Amino acid sequence: EPEVTQTPSHQVTQMGQEVILRCVPISNHLYFYWYRQILGQKVEFLVSFYNNEISEKSEIFDDQFSVERPDGSNFTLKIRSTKLEDSAMYFCASRSLRSDGCFGPGTRLTVT
């Protein structure tokens, strides 16, 4: 069964550094999402992406965040200058018109 994959599984970075989290959505899906879950808190929506552009973003998704679909298969989340409070599990999700969201296994980002 097709699944969403994410790399790396764990990323440790220093405050102020740039990180890129990578996702490979399910191949025939059209909608792509990033969510995050800070330890002990809710899963929060960050951004949705459709037709090669951002369709929605939350207040969390400020100028430090960006998303790209550089090659038609990968879907990346970049954080330009990480802060301590960016430490969280980041989940990528994708869906087609008729499917429910399929989530990847997540990338644990630790900012020190």
Query: Is 65 among the residues that bind another protein (CB under 8 A)?
Result: no
Choices 11-19, 64-72, 74-82, 94-102 (CB under 8 A): range interacting with another protein: 94-102
Dump the DSSP string for the chain.
Answer: ----EEE-SEEEE-TT--EEEEEE--TT--EEEEEEE-TTS-EEEEEEEETTEEEEE-TT--TTEEEE-TTSS-EEEEESS--GGG-EEEEEEEE-SSS--EE---EEEEE-
Q: Which is nearer to another protein, 55 or 81 (CB)?
A: 55
Query: Is 25 among the residues that bind another protein (CB under 8 A)?
Result: no
Which one of residues 33, 67, 79, 87 is an interface residue with another protein (CB under 8 A)?
Answer: 33
Number of residues that bind another protein (CB under 8 A): 23
Residues engaged in binding another protein (CB under 8 A) = 4, 6, 31, 33, 35, 41-45, 48, 55-56, 91, 93, 95, 100-106
